[in-house]
Structure 1
Amino acid sequence: MRIGLLGTGPWARMVHAPALSGHGELDFAGVWGRRAAAAGELAAEHGTRAYDDVDALFADVDAVAVALPPDVQAELAVRAAHAGCHLLLDKPLAATAERGRAVAEAVRETGVASVVFFTTRFQTGPESWITEQAGRGGWFTARAEWLGAVFGGQSPFAASPWRREKGALWDVGPHALSVLLPVLGDVRAVTAAAHGPGDTVHVVLDHVGGASSTLTLSLTAPPAAAGAVVELRGEAGVSVLPDSTEAAVSAFARAADALLATARDGRPHPCDAAFALRVTEILAAAEAAL
């Protein structure tokens, strides 16, 4: 599969490009970015071609991986799908539910394969745990705390305009939801939402299976307090999401494997554009509640 990369920022440099160039079943065919010089530098680093025209890249590849802000991703994903390109996208799918629906509709209309990179879902240990807990059922409640120190430390993402605008709800909220939804079921309602320090938000969800969950999300946590915890309580007792030291590059390579598989057999992946749209809709509902 010939694949192109859209984006040249820190996530593209740190994760997407190394994973694509090192993948045995992908031909990393080119890079496009909003800054031509950055695209040229990244392409040269990985021995591929820089494109000035994104539509020319679409015409030359079978698939695209996207490492761009969600509003930019959504617009280009629709164009790529209509050009016949399979989609390896990042979370959140879009910055609004309306734009997310446009992506999901384009995928349905064109029949291209789609996989959205929710990091935890492509890490071996956490994904096995999610599958096991979903099979158990009987969960009563859950809490998810996803606390980052992005805005208070030396993170390469600290200056990201879209993260500054949308905050933790949209940046780390998708990670929490990607774990909770397959275990507790879809969300019937956002029953409460409140602001905390900085960009911190607290959200309470009612799930279709009868369980409730609480989310505490932040990008402004003190570095010593940063980390992620997901705890389930129910008939089976208490279960906690295992920590993973697996690198994001390895997880992204598994997401690429998933795209290859769904492109070959036509079976939708659990983390496809339709699932990412549902996550986006829940985020938008929480944002409205705030």
Structure 2
Amino acid sequence: MTENFQEEKTQAAAWFRQLRDDIVTAFNGLEARQPGPAPAGQFEVRATTRTAGDGSDAGGGEMSVMRGGRVFEKVGVNISTVFGTLGERAQTAMAARKGLPGMKEDPRFWASGISLVAHMQNPHAPAVHMNTRMFWTPHAWWFGGGADLNPCIEYAEDTAHFHAEMKRACDPHGPALYDELKAWADEYFYIPHRKRARGVGGIFYDDRNTGDWDADFKLTQDVGAAFLPAFLPLADKRRETPWDDADKDTQLRHRGLYAEYNLVYDRGTKFGLETGHDPDAVLMSLPPMAKWY
């Protein structure tokens, strides 16, 4: 059994909110630097809610979404803190995957995190995903998260830069950790029915509980803090690269892969929809436009 962890929960939720604020500020600055006849894009912020099966409040969060910007065609930076009891399907899945048989007797949970997905106007600028989260039950706590780059037009130097920043975040926590989390991302972000990855990878981890909450939270903070140094220079460099209709077609077809993965395989999408969270917030990751043949 785990203690209530109220101080740790508060600390984690506050940090996810601060990270959201830092990223939104940086993205607003990038939008403002991009020339264009239309006004720079602005984030629209609205509250999201989660309702328990009996209709009671079960937490929520905030969606921060920019649509139709000069740099960002659609970007969402969501935060949430939700709680309550897991439904029977979620109890069974968690008991099996996490090794927590006590979930059926006491299915309470609490979860907080940040989730980000950016789809870019310029096909040469890579799409990107990042999330970090903390999960608590009376039986165990853990952290999860990561970031992965999803270019439709690949540049080897961009991939190398992104991975170098992810490695920089991991290295203080163990010399082998980056290789472990990179391999985890390669496996997790693979699309079996397409027999290919959805992008050029990054890092991913789940169920992180070494027994040292402070150390595991510090890793999660370092991963989240690495996002802007890893991604922002790439978006800044590629935002004015000339592109044509063929490039846009390549981008839209690649977005189809992203949509397929998130709707079919992504655990966060499944968990959010099964536990009654705001579906618009859960499906924020989907691109505004995509193409299939």
- Taking structure 1 as the reference length, the TM-score comes to 0.27
- Taking structure 2 as the reference length, the TM-score comes to 0.27
